[in-house]
Amino acid sequence: MNNGEKKNMTVKTFGVIGSGQMGNGIAQVAAASGLQVVMSDVKQEFAEKGLAAIGKNLNRLVEKEKISQADGQAILSRVKITTNLEDMAAADYVVEAATEREELKFGIFRELDRICPPHVILGTNTSSIPIGRIAAQTDRPEKVIGMHFMNPVPVMKLVEVIRGLATSDETFSITWQLCEKFGKTPAEANDFPGFIANRILMPMINEAIFCLYQSVGKKEDIDTVMKLGMNHPMGPLALADLIGLDTCLAIMETLYDGFKDSKYRPCPLLRKYVEAGWLGRKSGKGFYTY
C-alpha cells in the first residue's frame, strides 16, 4: 500500500460531475476532508442549488454543534461550481455522479478522458452499470473505478468500491484510501450488475412494489412491516421515493438486462409511476405525496 499512500498525497483537487443529491453530498464530504472541490453541472441554476444544499447541511451541523461556524464556512469555501466540464482539467481525481443513464455516463467519460491529464483517476458513482463497460469508453481503463456512495452521502458510512476488469491495483488503493480520508468505510464488490448493495436492495424494493400492485397490503402497511418486523429505518416504498423511482427502474432494468433472469423484472406499477412523472420526493409525488 506504500505506493498508493505516496500517490494519494497528490490528490488535492477533487472533481464531482453532477450537483444533485448524490453529487453535492460527495462534494461536501470531499471538502470536509480538506480537499479543494470542483463541482460541475449542465446549468448554473443546478450547480447553485447544489452549493446551497451543501451550505444548508453545514448550517445544520453548526446548529447541532458538530462543527464550528468557522469550519462550516471553510468547508463551503473549498467548493467551486462550474458549468464547464473543461474545468475538470484542474482535478487530480474525478467522480461522476450524473443521472443513472448509460449513454449519458458514456458521453461524460469520453469527455473526461479527453479533458483530464493521463494520471487522473476517473471514478463513477453508478449504482448498477458495469464498470468495465464505462471504462471501455476511455483510453485509461486501468484508471476507471466504481466509487458508489450511499444516500444521504454525508451521513451514510458505506462506499462500495468496484474495480473493472482492467482497474489497476494503484487505482484501487488510492480510491480505498480516499474513502477512508472522507471518513467512510469502503467495501469491495466485484463488477456484476448492481454490485452488492443494489443487487440485494433493489429486488426487495421491487418486491414491495409488487405487493402493492397485487394488493397484498397498503403502502403504509408494507412499510410498517419492514420497519417494525425487520428493523429497517424506513420502509421500502418510502426508500424508493427517496432514491427516485426513475433510478429504481433504471437499476432494475440493468439487473434484468445483465442477468436475463425474470426475478429482476421491474414491477409494471413502478414503470407506470415513472411514465407518469411520479418519481418520488424530487417530483413531489411517488408512492407518497411530499
Q: Which of 24, 57, 125, 160 is catalytic?
A: 160
Find out whether 57 is annotated in a ligand binding site: no
119 is an active site residue: no
Coil, helix or strand at residue 134: helix
Q: Which of 8, 24, 57, 148 is catalytic?
A: 148
Find out whether 280 is annotated in a ligand binding site: no
Amino acid at 255: L
Amino acid at 131: I
In order of 55, 160, 185, 255, the CA distances from 92 in angstroms are 24, 21, 22, 32
103 is an active site residue: no
Sign of CA dihedral 47, 50, 54, 60: positive
160 is an active site residue: yes
What DSSP line would sit under 22-90, residue for residue? Answer: HHHHHHHHHHHTT-EEEEE-SSHHHHHHHHHHHHHHHHHHHHTTSS-HHHHHHHHHTEEEES-GGGGGG
Find out whether 282 is annotated in a ligand binding site: yes
Find out whether 20 is annotated in a ligand binding site: yes
- The C-alpha cell that represents 29 in the structure block: 464530504
Find out whether 68 is annotated in a ligand binding site: no
206 is an active site residue: no
Q: Which of 125, 128, 198, 206 is catalytic?
A: 198
Find out whether 100 is annotated in a ligand binding site: yes
Q: Which of 127, 128, 206, 253 is catalytic?
A: 127
Find out whether 181 is annotated in a ligand binding site: no
- The C-alpha cell that represents 132 in the structure block: 468495465
Find out whether 22 is annotated in a ligand binding site: yes
| Binding site per annotation, positions | 18-23, 41, 100, 105, 127, 151, 282
Residues designated as active site: 127, 148, 160, 198
- Annotated binding-site residues for NAD(+) read 18-23, 41, 100, 105, 127, 151, 282
